[in-house]
Amino acid sequence: AKMSIISSKQDIEVGEEILLLCKGGEGEITWRKDGEDIDDEDIVFKLDETSSKLVIKKAKLEDAGRYTCHCDFDNGHNDDTQTQLFVYGPSFGSTKTYHEFLEGTDGMVPCLVSGEPAVDVQWFRDNHLIPSTKYVCRAHIRGRPMIYKELSVSVVVNEEKKVLAGPDTNVSLLCLVDGLPKPNITWTPVQFNPSHHYFNSDRSQLTIKSVAREDFGEYVCTATNKISESSATIKLHVFEQLRVSVGEAASVSCNVTGHPQPELHWLNKQNGRTLVVDDVLMIDEVVPSDGGLYSCMAIPLVISTLKPYTSYTVEPDSPVLSSDEIKIEGNTFSVPLKQMDDGGTPVLQFNVRYRQDKEEAEWKEMQLSPDANSVSLKDLAFGSTYQLEVAAVNANGSSIPSTFNFTIAEQPKSSMTKGSVVGIVMVIFLVVFLAVDATCCYRNHCGLLMSIAVKLFGQKVPGIK
């Protein structure tokens, strides 16, 4: 009899099912992988005296190899047959599929691929068959060119326009769109003002009249139809013109805001003749050579150790607790709370915890709303030192907690003892008693004083009670 192995396919992706069927003559059939016996009853099934099935439900990379079906025939002879299986697993991981670049700048589009066996990467772009904004990254198993995965990547080149501000200056931004059905075009962010903005009939052209510094920024046109949506960005740079006569003084201010507060630098071709005071560029006496383009550059926080193609989140700054404005009244403590920077994502809450500054003391926790302006703690123990921690929390995580230590003074003691109080009460009671008894003796001839007087002097008073 002739031995044979029937397989569904020779190349299996990670996670797929492996199915091998061995057929031959009557006899004892066994399976081997890379020369080692396979005796797992869960994956080897004997169908009858002439066939056996090997099943692996979810293939792993280590399941790749050479599989052998061996048969010891009933007539004493033996034979075997072999097949090679390849298990592959290329992955594009966290490769981004959308990129935007400013026209005229260098753009880098990474294709992050991993897999086993070794993976080769190729890029494809066909100007005739594929739109110019579409790229394909293909990863294939080395030595097996027909085993591959493809990932489409979109690249958008943004246009940049520069214009000089002025009442007679107009600028037009074009959004060239083609599609079927005909797309609808919207522009953002544009707060439409008929005296300042103008659109053509299909809104593919935005005209800004009398360009001012406030018009600087990015303009996004979005084309939408029933099938898909696509956007493009145009960056508009607006420069202001300052006219100064020769011999006059000139000063230009540059207003910038940000968190943290950016550093401001002036760039020009005549650094030696300019003076910067409080971010204001000043020239004492203008000469013709001072004419030209002056730029102010704002530099925010710089982080130079970031890794490329890695996502980062920014947590908020630690809250500020002002030690100069704390209030301690009895066993109640209060300190002003200020948030410096939310890290670009709104603060959701403040986490507060405090405990006595002693071993094995348990932390007590509470939460404050994001608009809280102080931390208040009540019913604290007199004569104790406390530890306080306050952290700001946004969607990216928690800040490093701000710490604060404070002490609650001993409880004030009264100068009067319990005995003094009892004595005063008794004296008051005695005075009241004597007053009542004297009144009774004088008016009604009764009471304790009257009884003592009779016993001492032995004389009864008529009407005594």
Tell me the C-alpha distance between 304 and 359, whole Å. 42
**Run of H or E including 429:** helix 418-444
What pLDDT score was predicted for residue 10?
Answer: 82
Q: Name residue 12's beta-bridge partners.
A: 87
Which superfamily does 4-88 belong to?
Immunoglobulins (2.60.40.10)
Q: How high is the pLDDT of residue 457?
A: 73
What does the pLDDT look like over 134-181, one tens digit per residue?
Answer: 678 878 777 777 777 787 777 666 677 888 888 888 999 988 787 778
User: For the residues 368-384, what does the mean pLDDT come to?
Assistant: 91
What is the reported pLDDT for 358?
Answer: 86
- What's the farthest any 2 CA atoms get from each other in the chain? 154
- Give the separation between CA 1 and CA 23, rounded to whole angstroms: 9
pLDDT of residue 129: 41
Residue of 53, 50, 80, 52 lying closest to 66 (CA atoms): 80
37-84 pLDDT, tens digit per residue, is 887 776 877 777 788 888 888 888 788 889 998 888 888 888 889 998
The answer to which of 25-39, 45-59, 405-419 has the lowest mean pLDDT is 405-419
Q: Is residue 1 scored above 70 in pLDDT?
A: no
Query: 3-state DSSP call for residue 454?
Result: helix
Which of 123-132, 269-278, 390-399 shows the highest mean pLDDT? Answer: 390-399
**Is 304 a residue whose pLDDT tops 70?**
yes
> Are the beta carbons of 363 and 353 closer than 8 angstroms?
yes
Q: What is the predicted pLDDT for the residue at 307?
A: 78
Q: Where are the domains of the chain?
A: 4-88, 98-155, 165-239, 250-299, 320-408, 424-457
Per residue in 206-219, pLDDT (tens digit) is: 999 999 888 888 89
For residue 351, what pLDDT is reported? Answer: 92
Report pLDDT digits (tens) over 93-108.
777 777 777 667 777 7
Mean pLDDT for all residues in the chain: 82
Instruction: Tell me the residue type at 375.
Output: V
Level-2 CATH architecture, domain 250-299: Sandwich (2.60)
The proportion of the chain whose per-residue pLDDT surpasses 70, expressed as a percent, equals 91
Q: What pLDDT does 117 receive?
A: 67
Name the CATH superfamily housing domain 165-239: Immunoglobulins (2.60.40.10)
Q: Sorting pLDDT into bands at 50, 70 and 90, what band is 416?
A: low
- Per-residue confidence (pLDDT) for residue 464, from 0 to 100: 54
- For residue 389, pLDDT over 50 is answered with yes
Judge whether 4-88 and 320-408 match in fold: yes
Mean pLDDT score, 260-280: 76
Calculate ∠ Cα 305-308-314, nearest 5°: 60
More confident residue, 257 or 369: 369
pLDDT reported for residue 23? 87
Report field, pTM of the whole predicted structure over 0.85 = no
The two tokens of residue 210 are 């009398």
Question: Which residues does residue 295 pair with via DSSP β-bridges, in sequence order?
Answer: 267
Residue with tokens 């044979």: 4
User: Over the stretch 338-363, which tens digit does the pLDDT of each residue have?
Assistant: 877 777 778 889 999 999 988 888 99
Place of tokens 């797992």: 40
Cα–Cα distance list, 426 to 3, 283, 436, 438, 446 (Å): 120, 91, 15, 18, 23
- Report whether CATH 1.10.510.10 matches the domain 320-408: no
Integer CA distances (angstroms), 298 to 17, 295, 343, 344, in order: 58, 10, 18, 18
Question: 364 pLDDT band (50/70/90 cuts)?
Answer: very high
Query: What DSSP state is assigned to residue 423?
Result: H
